[in-house]
Amino acid sequence: MAPKQTTPLALECKNSDDAKSMSFLTDKKILLGITGSIAAYKVADWVRALRREGGQVTVVMTEAACRFISPLTMAALSGNPVHTGMFSAEAPETIPHISLARDHDLLVIAPASAQTIARLAHGLADNLLATIALASSGPILVCPAMNSVMFQHPATQANLATIKSYGYRVLEPACGEMACGEEGPGRLTEWENARQAILTTFAPQNLADEHVLITAGPTRESFDPVRFLSNPSTGKMGYALAATARQRGATVTLISGPTALAAPPGVRRIQVTSATEMQAQVTECFDAATIVVKAAAVSDYRPAEPQLHKVKKGQATLSLPLVANPDILKELGERRRKSANYPLLIGFAAESRNHLKEGARKLKEKNLDLIVVNDIGGTETGFGANTNRVTLLDRNGGQEEMPLLSKEETAHRIWDAVGRLRMDNR
């Protein structure tokens, strides 16, 4: 018999730098319901990740879940007592399913077994978790994980359709090899997908009617089959903009130069290599966009005559004639001068000196609505850093200096500024 309540060990996980790790999860109360699936062990890491971002996690486990992972583990990781029974021996005067149902911002059920999904669909209240779901009026996120035949069974599919009709959000399981050895859909979704869905619950939906086109990463300009000109951009800022725009409800197309990053969940990504390829894709996707953000570090020049075969050494010096690449953003700015109905244009200015002066010049010359002036110098703000410190300059003369923030938080501040610009233009 599983213990009714398990008290946490003293395991403190305080953020070392709150300013850098702020997110919409900060101080949010997440109730995590774990059910009987072999994937239960995976959500132990989810608890740590939620706490790292400032979330307060309380865990509820079904009896079957306790067979897969110990409540003691979840108590230690969450820093809170774990609830497993309908009645509390420690505080008999409280009714756990009602107090827990009231006191959270989001209920996440992960992994959600076929049995629990059936319970939810039929409104059963025969264990603590199902009863909390029934008594809860807040958002509920369900992450199924089970054998793929069970997942694809019409009964499970009908139950999933039913809980979606109640307004529960369901994250599709991933395909792949399962613990039982079979292949197919049924693996618990990856944390990144769950995180994106959780953040979407809390993010303002001010981009719900927007189609955002974002460019990110470096471009590569080939000199011969094994060499190219490029820059150290990793794409982190552009990808953070894409992920956060999606969290805020936008349809997002991301045109990306070569990076090591995975496409953010729910984002359409088009991969390109050179500036001219990027230009072609931006032109193609442009008409559908209502906001364009050019975060890519585009190479300004490319080799004039790329060589078909590897250039052999042998000469003491080598000159490499270059030709200018198109300035994609400037072209878009020119096009908008001729049309009233035009997307919002946002550029970046990567500067090592005279930041504001250069930013203001690019804002005007490229005919932008907003420019994000970026210091490429310091270790905390340059290429590849996880943090950034930017100043926003807008076409109405507004100037906003941001503190050092994570790139994700910086992206959210940029979307806040876009929201204000939209209001000004109405």
Q: Which lies closer to ligand CTP via its Cβ, residue 57 or residue 363?
A: 363
Q: Least distance (Å) from ligand CTP to the CB of residue 324?
A: 8
Cβ atoms of 338 and 332 within 8 Å: the answer is no
Minimal distance, residue 329 CB to ligand CTP, in Å: 3
CA 412 to chain CA mean position, Å: 11
Interaction of residue 296 with ligand CTP, rule CB under 6 A:
yes
SS3 of 96-154: the string is HHHHHHHCCCEEEEEEECHHHHHHHHCCCCCCHHHHHHHHCCCCEEEEECCCHHHHHCH
Cα dihedral sign, 226-232-234-240: negative
HSE (side-chain half, CA atoms, 13 Å) at 8 = 15
Q: Does 328 bind ligand CTP (CB under 6 A)?
A: yes
Interaction mask 256-275, ligand CTP, x per CB under 6 A: -------------------x
Which of 33, 111, 238, 347 touches ligand CTP by CB under 6 A? 347
Q: Do 145 and 178 form a contact (C-beta atoms < 8 A)? A: no
Task: Work out the angle between the directed axes of helices 43-52 and 71-78 (0-180°, nearest 10).
Answer: 10
The residue within the footprint of ligand CTP, chosen from 53, 210, 327, 409 (CB under 6 A), is 327
Residue type, position 189, single letter = T
Per CB under 6 A, the segment of 55-63, 78-86, 188-196, 320-328 that binds ligand CTP is: 320-328
Instruction: Write out 228-293 in H/E/C secondary structure.
Output: EECCCCCCHHHHHHHHHHHHCCCEEEEEECCCCCCCCCCCEEEECCCHHHHHHHHHHHHCCCCEEE
By CB under 6 A, is residue 325 in contact with ligand CTP? yes
Beta bridge mates, 270: 255
| Residue 420 Cβ vs ligand CTP, minimum distance, rounded to whole Å | 20
326 vs 419 by CB, closer to ligand CTP: 326
Least distance between ligand CTP and beta carbon 362 (Å): 5
- Rule CB under 6 A: choose which of 195, 348, 385, 407 binds ligand CTP: 348
**For ligand CTP, the closer CB: 5 or 273:** 273
Residue tagged active-site, from 13, 66, 180, 285 = 180
Report helix, strand or coil for 354. coil
For ligand CTP, the closer of residues 243 and 350 by Cβ is 350
Per CB under 6 A, 239 contacts ligand CTP = no
Work out whether 294 is an interface residue with ligand CTP (CB under 6 A).
Answer: yes
Nearer to ligand CTP, 327 or 394 (CB): 327
In the bound state with ligand CTP, the residue whose beta carbon lies nearer, of 62 and 374, is 374
E strands in 171-233? 174-177, 183-187, 211-216, 221-224, 227-229
Q: How far is the CB of 423 from ligand CTP (least distance, A)?
A: 23
Cα(first)–Cα(last) distance of the chain, in Å?
Answer: 62
Touching ligand CTP, residues 350-389 (CB under 6 A): 350, 362
143 is catalytic: no
Task: Give which of 198, 197, 178 is closest to 186, Cα–Cα.
Answer: 178
Q: Does 393 bind ligand CTP (CB under 6 A)?
A: no
Q: Can you state the angle between helices 191-202 and 236-247, rounded to 10 degrees?
A: 60
Of 32, 142, 291, 329, the one binding ligand CTP (CB under 6 A) is: 329
Nearest distance in Å: CB 82, ligand CTP: 49
Residues 106 to 145 in contact with ligand CTP, rule: CB under 6 A: none
Q: Does 28 bind ligand CTP (CB under 6 A)?
A: no
- Pick 198 or 296: Cβ nearer ligand CTP: 296
- Angle at which helices 236-247 and 407-425 cross, to 10°: 60
**Closer by beta carbon to ligand CTP, 53 or else 375:** 375
- Strand-pair category, 169-170 with 140-144: parallel
Contact between 242 and 233 under an 8 Å Cβ cutoff? The reply is no
Instruction: Please report, as ranges, the residues that interact with ligand CTP according to CB under 6 A.
Output: 275, 294, 296, 298, 300, 325, 327-329, 347-350, 362
Catalytic sites, residue numbers: 180
